[in-house]
Structures are given as C-alpha cells and as structure tokens.
Amino acid sequence: MEEQILNNNVTVETFRESYGRSFKTLNLEWIEEFFVVEEEDLKILSNPKSYVIDTGGEIFFALQEGQVIGTSAMVLVKPKIFELAKMAVDKNFQGKGVGRILINASIEFARKRSATEIFLVTNDKLKPALNLYKSSGFNLDLDYDDTRYERGNTKMVLDLDKGENL
C-alpha cells in the first residue's frame, strides 16, 4: 500500500546541472557502504554531463516534493546498446517502488531510441537490486566480459528485440 502512495508523489525528470551533486552523493553512499569507490565511478560521477548526456545518453532523477530521492543513468555504449548504470535510491526510500520507477523510465528511454539491448554490471551480493533487474526482464549474461569495475561480477542483459516486458 505504501508503495502505491509513494508512486503517486514521485516525478521523474531528466538531467539538470543542479541535480549533478545528488547524482554523485546518492551513488557514493551505496558504493562506499558495500564496496570501494573506483576510478571508473569517479569518471561518471564527477562528469555526468560529458560522460553520459553529451555522448547520447540520459540521467533520470526521481523526485518527491522537489527532493532527489533516486537516480539512474543510461549510457550509450554503441549504436542501439545502452548500459543502465549508477542506479541509486536514497536509503529512506528504498523498497518503496522508486527503483522500479527509474528502471521503467530508463527502459522507455532506450525503446524510444530504438535500442536493441540494455545491459548492466552489478555484484551478486546486491540481492534487492538483482531482484529488481530480474523482475524487469533482465537475464544473466554468462559471458561476463566487463573489466571496468573490480566489484562487478555479474552482467545482466535486457534484449529489447524480443519484446520483453514494457
């Protein structure tokens, strides 16, 4: 019931310079809680506009009453392929549907750009995130080939050509 109520009060907006600090803060909170901040993290978190927006991607922000409570980035990796990256939800709002709102906005963004695939890199100890990804149609990619993050040990893929979900 609480999730339903929260969803009605949450809006999703795209990147604004004024949201850049929230993008960095929310992501550093979860990374520092579970892992170590890596060089690749700092590249995107310190330069979200040049790293994500200027290369054809987008960053989404979930807001409640004007406060940023969550974020996700869609990074264009190559034509028609996006990476879902830097998804974070404020601890006070976790488990209330904010992640679902962000992932749906991210998938819709990719679909509107005729993407064929979305992938993400995560860690198998982040169980709530894995459950969200699976329930959104992402499947494990057993050919794990990403070496950007030491913490990354799981790759998941959403094949948009198959018409899965949304």
Please return the burial class of 35, using the count of CB atoms within 10 Å of its CB with bins 0-12, 13-18 and 19+.
middle
The pTM (predicted TM-score) of the whole model is 0.90
pLDDT of residue 6: 55
All structural domains of the chain? 2-162 (3.40.630.30)
C-alpha angle 80/154/85, rounded to 5°?
45
Longest dimension (CA), the chain: 42
The CA distance from 62 to 159, in Å, is: 25
For the stretch 83-134, pLDDT in tens is 999 999 999 999 999 999 999 999 999 999 999 999 999 999 999 999 999 9
